Structure formats: C-alpha cells, structure tokens
Amino acid sequence: MGPSSRENTPMDPRNLSRKPLIPWLQAERPIDWKRQFGRKAILEVEIGFGYGEFLVTLAQTHPEWNFVGLEVKWASIQKTLRNIAHAKVCNVRLIQAEARVAFDRLFLPQSLHRIYALFPDPWPKKRHVKHRLFSHVFLKLLNSRLICGGEVRIITDDEPYSNWILEQASGTGFQAFGELIPPRFGTKYERKWHESGQKEFYELQLLKQEHVEIPLKEDIPLKTYHIEHFDPDRFQPSNERGKNVIEFKEFLYDIKHRKGMVQVVVAEANLTQNFWIEIGQDRKGWYIRVGKGCGVVPTTGVQRALDLVRDAAHQ
C-alpha cells in the first residue's frame, strides 16, 4: 500500500474534523440550534453517547432531524467525531458537558422532541445512589425542556436502576412505562452486557403529559474589581465551604511584570469549575478579574471567588 492510499482513511487522525463539536463555553447561551445546524428541524438529544454508535445511526435514519450528543469523556468525543466523519452525517452536534449543566443552560424550555440515554451508569452500590443521573429533580428538568408529547427513552441493563427511575418519575409530569427488550442498538455497553450473557434489557419510556416549568439558568455578569494597592507577600485568600465550595490552590506572582494568578476551584450544584483569577495593573490601579481564555460559566460561585480575592488583596 503506497502512502497515498493510506491517506484519507476514515481513521486517519487528519480526517478528524472538530466541526460537529460546539465550544459551548464560548457560545452564546442558550444555544441557537437553528443557527448551529443551518436549519430548523426536530431536535433530539442523547445523553452519554459513549462511542456514538447510536447517535450516528439516529442521524442516518432521520437525515431530516437534528441531533445533539452530550458526553463528559474526551476520548468518547474523539471516537464519535471519527464515527461522524466516517458516516458523513451533517445533522449531529456534540457538546462536552455534564448533562445537568447542559439542560440547565443550553436548551430552551419546550424545545426538544426526544431525549435518549443508553446504558447510563447505574451506580449499583447503596452509598453511590446519590450519583444516579435520572433522579426526580433531573426528570423534572428534562420534562421542562421537552415539547408537550415529547419523551425520554432510557435503556438499562440494571433492573434495580430501572425500578428506581420508575419511582423517581412519579410527580415529574411523565407517564412512565417499562418493558423488556432484546439487544438492538449495537453500542459498546450493549455488546459488553450481551457478550457477558444478558439476553434482555429494560427499556423505559417516559411520555410527557404535563409541563413542569424550570427556567433556564442564565449567566451573571462578572465584575472586574480595581484596588489601589496590592502586596503579593500578604495575599492569602480564604476558602469557603457553604452551599458552594470555593477552594484556592496555587498563587503565582511574576515580580518583573507585577502580575499574579491564583488558581481556584468553585464547586456548585452539578458544576465544578477550575480556573485562574488574574491580579495585574492597568491605568486604574490593580485589577482583579477571571483570567482571559479560562472559559468559565459565569455563576454566583465564580463571582464569590472574585469577591474573596478582592477581600484578601485589599488587606
């Protein structure tokens, strides 16, 4: 095989187009899906798409609809980008985000037709139940983002998780049904459980009957502070542990350029952010602001971290 025939194979990393991946931290929120896809169409979402086998099949089966995949793992996103390129589908977009954050901020109420999750992590141990995604609260959030008559479809290998979701669905505006189905989706986890001997899986269908209103979480405008004096040797911001957790890590100071950077982790409900706050000089004195290019979601927790830096820098 000559070098030219090796090029342009679907697995060639040079063919990995990142075009379907939306840099949502830099995008205007909620996302204008019509603009992202270049057309208005039925919009469906898959949570935790793994290697994207099902998402790509959906896109091939319904070229007239738009599909968005949510996934937290970068390796899965890379693999799925390859699968999308290989299948040459144009109606899929990917978002690297935790599902609760994405539904809170990226999709308008009553905008989605269907939401899928195949083999979501069942967290079988009792002490891990709190990590399960499809809780009562999350189901209400999904309800609010679906159109009337829309549905959530969940496939799981785990009977206790299936029963738990059915219990959680009560009072969320959904009518819930469960049935046993044979393997039919060809995803990595379906193959895994099938190969280990499982012949049937639990399919849950949650049909939206009543609307639950949960407004979009919106960004708050972050302040840039100015102070007159700053002494890097006395700078020691205090951590805070309340509803939100704010923890300061490293502080770096460049004496020559009189510029400091403090690393901070802000943990709020469903959203943990790790970023830098800059302390530097301009015409108005010492400024304190979120580091340029940090790509944070502007929240009250991020603002609180800025307040704590200002208080410590002020002393």
Site string for ligand SAM, 49-68 (x = CB under 6 A): xx------------------
Q: How many binding residues for ligand SAM (CB under 6 A)?
A: 20
Q: Which of 31, 33, 59, 76 binds ligand SAM (CB under 6 A)?
A: 76
Question: CB of 191: closest distance to ligand SAM in angstroms?
Answer: 8
Quick check: is 121 catalytic?
yes
Site for ligand SAM in 88-107 (CB under 6 A): 98-99
Reduce the secondary structure of the chain to three states and give it as a string: CCHHHHCCCCCCHHHCCCCCECCCCCCCCCCCHHHHHCCCCCEEEEECCCCCHHHHHHHHHCCCCEEEEEECCHHHHHHHHHHHHHHCCCCEEEEECCHHHHHHHCCCCCCEEEEEEECCCCCCCHHHHHHCCCCHHHHHHHHHHEEEEEEEEEEECCHHHHHHHHHHCCCCCEEEEEEEECCCCCCHHHHHHHHCCCCCEEEEEEEECCCCCCCCCCCCCCCCEEECCCCHHHCCCCCEECCCEEEEEEEEEECCCCEEEEEEEEEECCEEEEEEEEEEEECCEEEEEECCCCCCCCCHHHHHHHHHHHHHHHC
Site for ligand SAM in 234-253 (CB under 6 A): none
Interface stretch with ligand SAM, choices 23-31, 143-151, 184-192, 298-306 (CB under 6 A): 184-192
Question: CB of 81: closest distance to ligand SAM in angstroms?
Answer: 14
Q: Is 133 in the site for ligand SAM (CB under 6 A)?
A: yes
Catalytic residue among 121, 157, 231, 311: 121
Q: Is 72 in the site for ligand SAM (CB under 6 A)?
A: yes
Question: CB of 281: closest distance to ligand SAM in angstroms?
Answer: 41
Q: Which of 66, 143, 168, 187 binds ligand SAM (CB under 6 A)?
A: 187
Q: Is 121 in the site for ligand SAM (CB under 6 A)?
A: yes
Positions touching ligand SAM (CB under 6 A) are 47-50, 70-73, 76, 98-99, 118-121, 133, 187-190
Catalytic sites, residue numbers: 121
